Amino acid sequence: MWCNFAGPPLQIRSVAAKQLAVRWLLLLALMAFELVAITARYEAPRFLAEDADWSAKLFHSSKGIWHAGLWVACACLLMLSPRLKAILVKAREQSKEYHWLVWLAVHVLAFAVFAFATELIFEDPLNPSRLSGPWFISWIVLAGTKLLSWLLALAPGYFWLRLIRQEYAALFMGCLLGLGAWILVATLSRYDTSLLGQENFWNFLAVPTLQLVYSMLGWVYSDLVYQPEEFLLGTAVFQVEITHFCSGIEGISLITIFLAVYLWLFRKELRFPHSFWLFPLGITVIWLANAVRIALLIAIGTSMSPEIALQGFHAQAGWIAFTVIALSVIALSNKMRFFAVAGPDLPVATTGKSLAAALLVPLLVMMAATMMTSASSSGFDVLYPMRIVAVAAVLWYFRKAYNGLGWRWTWQAPAIGGAVFMIWMLLEPNVDSSKTALSQGLAALADEMAAVWLLFRVFGSVIIVPLAEELAFRGYLIRKLIAKDFENVPLGRFSWFSFILSSILFGLLHERWIAGTLAGMGYALALYRQGRLADAVIAHMTTNALIAIWVLAQARWSLWS
């Protein structure tokens, strides 16, 4: 009846909520006290010795189970977080006039009996009668009774049963994530975290990477060199050392940070806890991609050229893989109803998918062509013209889709491009250009071939590359990071998230990633001024044209390497 009144109900609910919060805090403090008391009582040196008896192993195994339970509980709370407020309200409603003190008394009694049994077992662990099955089973049953009575003191049994029936998927995922996190932490704790130690903190990840790459290469090569103790793998011709730097931890860290930011900023458009599955999915894919990268590195170094493997392929494959995986995660989370919230039916332009393809395919083709041509070069990409022809053909194929983007530009765009050029030059290291692979490769070509190559290089750098990159980053990605139906987002609409993330991804696409990120910010600002994609394209073309002039006039070939 109280729900018909405006004043008293709020007070009643407030008092009930405070009482429930106080009760739960007391019960949590009680459980923490019990765990500390048991741990402090039996965390004796004799139980930590290397030749410890079975009781020490039992104690530490049970302590590991408690730790795993804490990880699982935290992960389940994380899975339930989007609906946690509603769950707490339901717990408060079902706890009215609930005799929780009875279950608290049962819990205290169960803990006393459990502590007594633990004392009997650990007091004389060599007694054969204490090794029997009934003792061990009784000890486990008492621990379970203690936990169950504690849960029933928190809330009624029918609340827990209903929670399990309604949230079984979230609880199941929480158990998986919690156990995975516990196993990861337990694994990490086995390694020396000191920088002076012989085992590095992250070498644990290098071991499965080493084994996976070894299995891949075993299908192709029979003369494998495999020294796991030295983290060395390869063939008789070409070997690499797979340490923590090559284990995939950098990619895992990047994709984890990326997903955390992405899920937080788009939490209203994504389904939870379903979207948390993007973490294990992204981590697994990027780790597998790293293993494939290392296997290809060894294969290229063995069958083609060590220079190609260590210079062209090794320098680009990692960043390209991360960029592709990050973009794929965004696309997957937007297309699958499992991850995305099904909003109201909105009129979607029939050209939405074709426009996305027109904006993205040129860059994807350029990245694929870069990988293919780089795989056949040792620093000097003699097949660069093929890359430009392929991208130009794709741009021509989609030419009609670009008509609606508007290609008027303002004179401020070249000024922004000039400013980006100056920043790029300030960040450019002082390198002897006469010793670069590009200068040596051009010197090895005939004069006519060198002139043709340079013509394609200038044309690609000034025209093709800016078009492909700006269509993808400023035409598609910067709007896609604002809304799923990017075609309905006006060009030039500002968002801090899309501005920063698209610029960072643009920088990661370039070897000079700091300068590339700042350049991406400059081109985005050109877009924001008038909301015209042409301004970003012209600014990008101006930067690359000035770099091309500087390279040809000053023979600064390192700018193109």
Among 198, 194, 308, which residue's Cα sits nearest to residue 243? Answer: 198
Roughly what angle, to the nearest 10 degrees, separates helices 249-265 and 278-303?
150
8 A C-beta contact, residue 323 and residue 280: no
Q: Report the alpha-carbon angle 317-398-409, nearest 5.
A: 90
- Given pLDDT bands bounded at 50, 70 and 90, which one contains residue 280? confident
8 A C-beta contact, residue 523 and residue 536: yes
In 170-325 the beta strands, taken as DSSP E runs, fall at: 224-227, 232-235, 239-241
Evaluate if residue 401 carries a pLDDT over 80: yes
Where on the phi/psi map is residue 496: left (φ > 0), alpha (ψ -120 to 50), or beta? alpha
Q: What is residue 181's predicted lDDT score, i.e. its pLDDT? A: 67
Strand partners, 224: 235
Backbone dihedral angles phi then psi of residue 35, each to the nearest 5 degrees:
-65, -40
Question: In the predicted model, what is the mean pLDDT of the chain?
Answer: 77
Spatial distance between the Cα atoms of 288 and 282, rounded to a whole number of angstroms: 10
Q: Name which residue leads in pLDDT, 517 or 68.
A: 517
Structure-block tokens of residue 180? 């995975």
8 A C-beta contact, residue 278 and residue 257: no
Q: What is residue 22's predicted lDDT score, i.e. its pLDDT? A: 75
Instruction: Report the range out of 187-191, 321-325, 396-400 with the highest average pLDDT.
Output: 396-400
Among 541, 422, 559, 560, which residue's Cα sits nearest to residue 474? Answer: 541
Determine what percent of the chain is predicted with pLDDT higher than 90. Answer: 16
Amino acid at 50: E
Per residue, what are the HEC states of 231-242?
Answer: CEEEECCCEEEC
Q: Name which residue leads in pLDDT, 138 or 10.
A: 138
Distances (CA, A) of 145 to 55, 114, 162, 531: 21, 9, 20, 66
Q: Name which residue leads in pLDDT, 284 or 13.
A: 284
34-48, 318-332, 505-519: which has the minimum mean pLDDT? 34-48
Structure-block tokens of residue 390? 């392929």
Amino acid at 438: L
230-244, 279-293, 407-421: which has the minimum mean pLDDT? 230-244
Strand order in the sheet with 232-235: 224-227, 232-235, 239-241
Strand partners, 241: 232
Question: Burial level of 500, CB count in 10 A (0-12/13-18/19+)?
Answer: middle
Distances (CA, A) of 88 to 93, 154, 268, 555: 9, 11, 21, 69
Q: Name which residue leads in pLDDT, 146 or 354.
A: 146
Q: Report the alpha-carbon angle 110-113-116, nearest 5.
A: 150
Secondary structure letter of residue 340 according to DSSP: B
Determine what percent of the chain is predicted with pLDDT higher than 70. Answer: 73
Distances (CA, A) of 158 to 97, 403, 477: 14, 62, 48
Arithmetic mean of pLDDT, 106-131: 71
Q: What is residue 392's predicted lDDT score, i.e. its pLDDT? A: 94
Structure-block tokens of residue 332? 């997957």
- pLDDT tens by residue, 20-54: 677 777 887 787 777 766 665 655 444 444 444 44
Arithmetic mean of pLDDT, 389-397: 93
Q: What is residue 206's predicted lDDT score, i.e. its pLDDT? A: 74
112-126, 151-165, 443-457: which has the minimum mean pLDDT? 112-126
Arithmetic mean of pLDDT, 335-364: 69
Q: What is residue 130's predicted lDDT score, i.e. its pLDDT? A: 52
Backbone dihedral angles phi then psi of residue 10, each to the nearest 5 degrees:
-65, -40
Evaluate if residue 9 carries a pLDDT over 60: no
Torsion of CA 444, 446, 452, 456, to 10 degrees: -10
- Given pLDDT bands bounded at 50, 70 and 90, which one contains residue 403? confident
Amino acid at 66: W
Q: What is residue 459's predicted lDDT score, i.e. its pLDDT? A: 95
Secondary structure letter of residue 304 according to DSSP: T
83-92, 278-287, 496-505: which has the minimum mean pLDDT? 83-92
Spatial distance between the Cα atoms of 99 and 101, rounded to a whole number of angstroms: 6
Q: Name which residue leads in pLDDT, 327 or 191.
A: 327
Among 438, 44, 95, which residue's Cα sits nearest to residue 87? Answer: 95
- pLDDT tens by residue, 532-548: 899 999 999 999 999 99
Q: What is residue 177's predicted lDDT score, i.e. its pLDDT? A: 72
Distances (CA, A) of 263 to 255, 281, 329, 332, 497: 12, 14, 11, 13, 12
- Given pLDDT bands bounded at 50, 70 and 90, which one contains residue 345? very low
- pLDDT tens by residue, 435-450: 677 787 788 888 888 8
Structure-block tokens of residue 100? 């929780």
Spatial distance between the Cα atoms of 73 and 91, rounded to a whole number of angstroms: 17
Spatial distance between the Cα atoms of 149 and 106, rounded to a whole number of angstroms: 6
Q: What is residue 560's predicted lDDT score, i.e. its pLDDT? A: 79
Arithmetic mean of pLDDT, 377-381: 68
DSSP for 476-535, written as a single string: IIHHHTT-SSGGGSPTT---HHHHHHHHHHHHHTSSSHHHHHHHHHHHHHHHHHHT-HHH
3-class DSSP assignment, residue 378: coil
Evaluate if residue 74 carries a pLDDT over 80: no
Q: Name which residue leads in pLDDT, 233 or 229.
A: 233
Instruction: Report the range out of 56-65, 255-264, 380-389 with the highest average pLDDT.
Output: 380-389
Q: What is residue 11's predicted lDDT score, i.e. its pLDDT? A: 42
Q: Name which residue leads in pLDDT, 128 or 313.
A: 313
